[in-house]
């Protein structure tokens, strides 16, 4: 057992309002520079939809993540040697059309236009060419089912659905959408690290953050292909790739990442997990329908004495062990089994877990009048608007039972509280739902509290980084020396690597 600590995340999609405050919190801090305009380290997608960059989930197109060939786990892009041989030819890279051409407007014309016979207006201008541009794509082009004919209907997750199921999904009485916020998953088995020809990408030992060294990166962009989530981006100004850094400068100060801080839907949780690094490859190789369960199994119980000993052996201190024990992520992922990895079949073992959304009960129109089917008070999972197949394609590598179980538990929590606070649902009904969901009253109370009442310190349990120790790992640095010179010097972008 090789116990490692990992900063991990939960997004509660039933609370997500798709506001994108997270995206902008990130953009303001990290990607509002030239060369990074099109980078959305955090983005929010409307589902069904094709996402950003468009159709990123389609690994036939992009060859990201891992596949099992025989008994071998290997990058879809090919083994490392194969990658090197393609250094100057990578047909699986997204191109500008898969992203968008960043633009601005000639705002100045409003104040500066000479007297004329009509009103001036500011037109969109490409940030790449500086010329007027005809806008045809953006980073959130299909927001809230915009252009459903073009985007929502081409969601790759719909490919398993029957034609009838697909057609009904776009009848207004039955349709649905929800939001999928995404950041880098800081995977246990990152696709980007595996294919980097320069060895510029590494996983930080202390917290598992996956970073691209801005000194070593040589801009080959294989990470862009290798990441099945398309969460690394090429900076056209510096010639290096960049990606979500999990706001490590903030984590190091005990603050949650900025997209978490700013989440106004309060859907986000952050904390650490302990996992067994010895088992990564084995888990990543599991059969598809067992991947979710396998990933759960690699997460270690921080209260377990052997785990504690293993953690200490690896230099993880008491405060971190304590943080792991208080981690809301552990509760959601392991204790309650409510939060699931996105596209486990990519086999990168992502560390961002999603609680799938509940959706309104389904209705039907009869003779032009809208009818409601008789359902339970909150609606039954069986009559949910979105086919379970679709949800399973996203969150459980196709295993519908896993998603169903989560949704039933959410209904059980709500019904239990309804019964207790109001009584439209009887105690017997509520208890029956508990049994069906396989959980106890005390568990649903805990879930309720963590969903409805958490304070900042409940949602984000950030372990204390001891920067003085980290600083002194570098041979030429001591904490006392750094104290006097922190921040001095010239601020400039790192040079291109050797």
Partner 1 sequence: MSWIQDITNPKERQWEDFYRNRWQYDKIVRSTHGVNCTGGCSWNVFVKNGLITWEMQALDYPDFATEIPPYEPRGCQRGISFSWYIYSPIRVKYPYIRGTLIDLWRNAKKLHTDPIEAWTSVVENPDARRSYQQARGKGGFRRTSWDEVMEIVSASMLYTARKYGPDRVVGFSPIPAMSYLSYAGGSRLLQLFGGVNLSFYDWYCDLPPASPEMWGEQTDVQESADWYHAKYVAVMGSNLNMTRTPDVHFIAEGRYDGAKLTVLAPDFNQVAKYSDWWIPLNAGQDGAFWMAVNHVILKEYYVDRQTPYFTDYVKQYSDSPFLVVLNKNGANYQPGRFIRANTVSRYKNIENGDWKFLVYDLKSGEARMPKGSIGSRWANKEKGKWNLEMKDALDDAELEPALTFLDNSDEVVQVEFTDFDKQYASFRGVPVKRLTTEQGTVLVTTVFDLMMARFGISRGLAGDYAASYDDDKTYTPAWQEKFTGISRETVMKFAREFASTAESTGGKCTVIIGAGINHWYHNNLLYRSAITALIMTGCIGRNGGGLAHYVGQEKLAAVAPWSTIAFAQDWAAPPRLQNGPSFYYVNTDQWRYEGSFTDYNPSATDSYLAKGHTMDMQVRAARLGWLPSYPQFNRNSISLVEEARKAGAQTDEEIIKWVVEQLKTKKLRFAVEDPDAPENWPRTWFIWRGNAIMSSAKGHEYFLRHFLGTHSNAVATEKAEGTVNDVEWRTPAPTGKMDLVVDINFRMDTSALYSDIVLPTATWYEKDDLNSTDLHTYMHPLSQAVPPCWESKSDWEIFKLIAQKVSELAKTKFPEPVKEVVASPLQHDSADEIAQPEVKDWTKGECEPVPGKTMPHLRVVTRDYANLYQRFVSFGPLARQNGIGAHGVRWDIKEFYDELLEMNPVQEWSGNRYPSLNTATEAANVILHLAPETNGEAAYTAFQHEQERVGLPLTDLVEKVRDVRTTFKDLQTQPRRLLTSPCWSAIINNGRTYSPFCINTERLVPWRTLTGRQQLYHDHEVYLAFGEHLPTYKLNPTPQQYGDNVQSKPDGNTVMLNYLTPHGKWHIHSTYYDNEIMLTLSRGIEPFWISEQDAQTIGVKDNDWVEVFDDHGVVVTRAVVSARVPKGVCIFYHSPERTISVPRSPLRGNRRAGGHNSLTRTRLKPVLMAGGYAQFTYSFNYWGPTGVNRDTHVMVRKLQGKPVW
SS3 436: helix
What is the 3 state secondary structure string of 26-51?
A: HHHHHCCCCCCCCCCCCEEEEECCCC
Of positions 266, 285, 296, 389, contacts partner 1 by CB under 8 A: 266
Q: How far is the CB of 357 from partner 1 (least distance, A)?
A: 8
152 makes contact with partner 1 (CB under 8 A):
yes
Burial degree of 49 (CB within 10 A; 0-12, 13-18, 19+): buried
Whether 397 and 372 have beta carbons less than 8 Å apart is answered as no
Residue with tokens 């800081």: 186
Q: Which residues in the 42-101 window bind partner 1 by CB under 8 A? A: none
150 makes contact with partner 1 (CB under 8 A):
yes
What is d(CA 89, CA 97) in angstroms, rounded to the nearest whole number?
18
Task: Tell me the number of residues near partner 1 by CB under 8 A.
Answer: 126
What is d(CA 329, CA 316) in angstroms, rounded to the nearest whole number?
18
Of positions 69, 84, 85, 104, contacts partner 1 by CB under 8 A: 104
What is d(CA 229, CA 40) in angstroms, rounded to the nearest whole number?
12
Calculate the dihedral angle through the C-alpha atoms of 105, 108, 113, 118, rounding to the nearest 10 degrees.
40
35 makes contact with partner 1 (CB under 8 A):
no
Q: Which residues in the 413-452 window bind partner 1 by CB under 8 A? A: 413-424, 447-448, 451-452
Q: Which residues in the 315-334 window bind partner 1 by CB under 8 A? A: 315
Whether 218 and 497 have beta carbons less than 8 Å apart is answered as yes
Burial degree of 353 (CB within 10 A; 0-12, 13-18, 19+): buried
155 makes contact with partner 1 (CB under 8 A):
no
Nearer to partner 1 (CB atom), residue 45 or residue 337: 45
Residue 371 neighbours by CB distance under 10 Å: 11
7 makes contact with partner 1 (CB under 8 A):
no
Q: Which residues in the 162-181 window bind partner 1 by CB under 8 A? A: 170-173, 175-178
Q: Helices 427-437 and 400-421 meet at what angle, rounded to 10? A: 160
Of positions 143, 276, 308, 337, contacts partner 1 by CB under 8 A: 143
359 makes contact with partner 1 (CB under 8 A):
yes
Interacting span for partner 1 (CB under 8 A) from 90-98, 182-190, 263-271, 398-406: 263-271
Nearer to partner 1 (CB atom), residue 81 or residue 115: 115
Q: How far is the CB of 146 from partner 1 (least distance, A)?
A: 5
Of positions 118, 428, 484, 485, contacts partner 1 by CB under 8 A: 118
Q: Which residues in the 400-419 window bind partner 1 by CB under 8 A? A: 413-419
Comparing C-alpha atoms, which of 219, 185, 177, 205 is closest to residue 65?
185
29 makes contact with partner 1 (CB under 8 A):
yes
Nearer to partner 1 (CB atom), residue 82 or residue 494: 494
């Amino acid at each position: 057992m090789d116990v490692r600590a990992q900063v991990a995340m939960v997004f509660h999609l039933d609370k997500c309002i798709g506001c994108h405050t997270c995206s902008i919190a990130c953009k303001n801090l990290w990607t509002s520079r030239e060369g990074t305009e099109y980078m959305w380290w955090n983005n929010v997608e409307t589902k069904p939809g094709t996402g950003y960059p468009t159709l990123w989930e389609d690994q036939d197109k992009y060859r990201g993540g891992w596949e099992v060939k025989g008994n071998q786990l290997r990058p879809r892009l090919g083994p490392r040697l194969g990658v090197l041989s393609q250094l100057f030819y990578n047909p699986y890279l997204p191109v500008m059309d898969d992203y968008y051409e960043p633009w601005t407007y000639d705002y100045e014309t409003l104040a500066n236009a000479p007297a004329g016979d009509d009103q001036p207006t500011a037109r969109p201008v490409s940030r790449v060419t500086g010329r007027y541009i005809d806008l045809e794509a953006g980073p959130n082009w299909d927001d809230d089912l915009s252009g459903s004919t073009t985007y929502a209907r081409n969601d790759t997750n719909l490919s398993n659905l029957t034609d009838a199921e697909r057609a009904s999904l776009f009848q207004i009485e039955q349709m649905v959408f929800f939001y999928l916020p995404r950041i880098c998953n800081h995977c246990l088995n990152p696709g980007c690290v595996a294919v980097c020809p320069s060895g510029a990408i590494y996983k930080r030992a202390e917290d598992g953050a996956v970073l691209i060294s801005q000194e070593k990166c040589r801009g080959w962009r294989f990470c862009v292909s290798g990441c099945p989530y398309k969460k690394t981006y090429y900076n056209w100004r510096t010639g290096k790739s960049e990606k979500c850094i999990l706001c490590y400068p903030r984590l190091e100060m005990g603050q949650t990442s900025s997209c978490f801080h700013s989440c106004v839907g309060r859907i986000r949780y952050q904390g650490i997990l302990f996992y067994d690094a010895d088992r990564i490859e084995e888990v990543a190789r599991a059969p598809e329908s067992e991947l979710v369960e396998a990933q759960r199994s690699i997460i270690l119980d921080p209260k377990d004495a052997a785990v504690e000993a293993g953690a200490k052996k690896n230099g993880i201190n008491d405060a971190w062990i304590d943080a792991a024990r208080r981690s809301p992520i552990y509760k959601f992922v392991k204790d309650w089994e409510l939060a699931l990895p996105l596209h486990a079949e990519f086999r990168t073992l992502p560390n961002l877990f999603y609680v799938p959304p509940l959706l309104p009960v389904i209705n039907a129109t009869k003779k032009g009048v809208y009818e409601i089917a008789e359902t339970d008070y909150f609606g039954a999972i069986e009559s949910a608007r979105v086919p379970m197949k679709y949800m399973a394609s996203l969150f459980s590598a196709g295993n519908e039972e896993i998603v169903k179980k989560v949704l039933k538990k959410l209904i059980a929590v709500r019904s239990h509280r309804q019964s207790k606070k109001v009584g439209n649902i009887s105690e017997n009904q509520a208890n029956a739902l508990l049994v069906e969901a396989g959980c106890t009253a005390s568990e649903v109370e805990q879930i309720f509290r963590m969903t409805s009442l958490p304070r900042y310190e409940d949602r984000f349990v950030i372990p204390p980084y001891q920067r003085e120790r980290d600083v002194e790992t570098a041979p030429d640095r001591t904490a006392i020396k750094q104290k006097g010179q922190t921040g001095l010097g010239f601020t400039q972008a790192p040079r291109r690597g050797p």
